Amino acid sequence: MYAIDQIKEYLKPNGWMTLTNLKKEIGLIAEHINIDEIIESAGVAVRGKIALKEYLVVLTSERLITTDKQKKLIAYNYEEITKQIAIKKFNTVEIQFQFNKEVIELSIAQNDTGKVFTQAIQDKLGILPEIQMDSEERKVVQVMKPIKTTIDILNGKEQLKDKGSIFKLSQNKQGEVEISVDYHNTPEVFRLIKWERVENVQKSAFDIAGWSLIGSTFGNAGAIAGAMGANIGKDKSVATLYLKRLNGEKVALVIKCDKKVLEKLSMLIVAEGEEVVSQTVMEVQPSAADEIIKFKQLLDEGILTQDEFDAKKKQLLGI
């Protein structure tokens, strides 16, 4: 039922007639959405050369799903889609791509809702924006390709302005990212200072704690390390995003970082001229005693062994 409601929410702007005409298709596609799939958009398109019938098209985190003339399910995995292009016509945009040597064509009317859905498909299939020409200098200017991914936040989600369970990160402008919570909320804009994959849980925990203490509330290092240590796994599948709100407030998010998310993160462009931990004159560097207390917290929570704690204590005391 949740999948049906999501699809209907995306289709609402098209009007009640669309919802009525596509009722069976909505139910069929919703029934075949996998439990780990996330519905990211839905709309209507005409397939082929003759505009006789509109078909429901649903974009998920894994596939583009639609139906055939007999209302049977057709799914196209993004990884197997090639040669994707968008062709602008008078009042439509034709999306073309190749799947298993077959050329698929989706024609989308360019009304208000159609434009939104066209952009969603272009973003999902990785269709580059048109190249623009500067009329004075006659230089080719390439608009950056939008980057979008769904993220699983392990720690720090309480810092976001909206509450929910589905988090999407996107970048449409260099140095900035947008994070939306659930599919209907307005995204919040952050400057992307840097991101890093976690290799050392203890070090990253203190980096995040130090970052958050300068600005937003995040939690102590022991709690952060515990959250990361419980989820990091054998493949080091955790990353940290260091962000700044436009008002200067600092936010750190710990997210799961599987292969697909890592590919997206590697494409992000960070803000220029920013330092992750920039201490001001008024900020006091932590003393050896403070550092020992922090490491004792990690020892008590099982993140460090007794030997590791003793070695770090001797190092800080210069013994």
| Partners of residue 105 on adjacent β-strands | 96
Least Cα distance to 295 among 287, 307, 304 occurs for 304
pLDDT in tens, 42-62: 999 987 555 567 899 999 988
- The three-class DSSP label of residue 153 is strand
Question: Percent of the chain, pLDDT > 70?
Answer: 73
Q: With 50 as the cut, is the pLDDT of residue 221 above it? A: no
Q: What are residue 256's DSSP bridge partners?
A: 238
**Which is nearest to 98 in space by CA: 125, 134, 117?**
125
3-state SS, one letter per residue, for 1-19: CHHHHHHHHHHHHHCHHHH
Highest mean pLDDT among 34-43, 222-231, 304-313: 34-43
d(CA 185, CA 162): 8
pLDDT digits (tens, 9 = 90+) for 258-301: 888 888 888 888 887 655 444 333 344 556 666 777 777 777 77
Mean pLDDT for the stretch of residues 76-90 = 88
Summarize pLDDT for 118-139 with one digit per residue, the tens: 999 998 888 866 544 444 444 4
Average pLDDT, the chain: 77
Q: Round to the nearest angstrom and report the end-to-end CA distance of the chain.
A: 64
Kindly write down the DSSP assignment for every residue of 44-109, as one continuous string.
EEEESSS---EEEEEEESSEEEEE-TT--EEEEEGGGEEEEEEEE-SSEEEEEEEETTEEEEEEEE
**In the beta sheet, which residues pair with residue 301?**
none
Question: Tell me, what amino acid is at 280?
Answer: T
Residue 226 pLDDT greater than 80, yes or no: no
Residue 210 pLDDT exceeds 60: no
DSSP helix/strand/coil, 280: coil
> What is the CA 112 to chain-centroid distance, rounded?
25
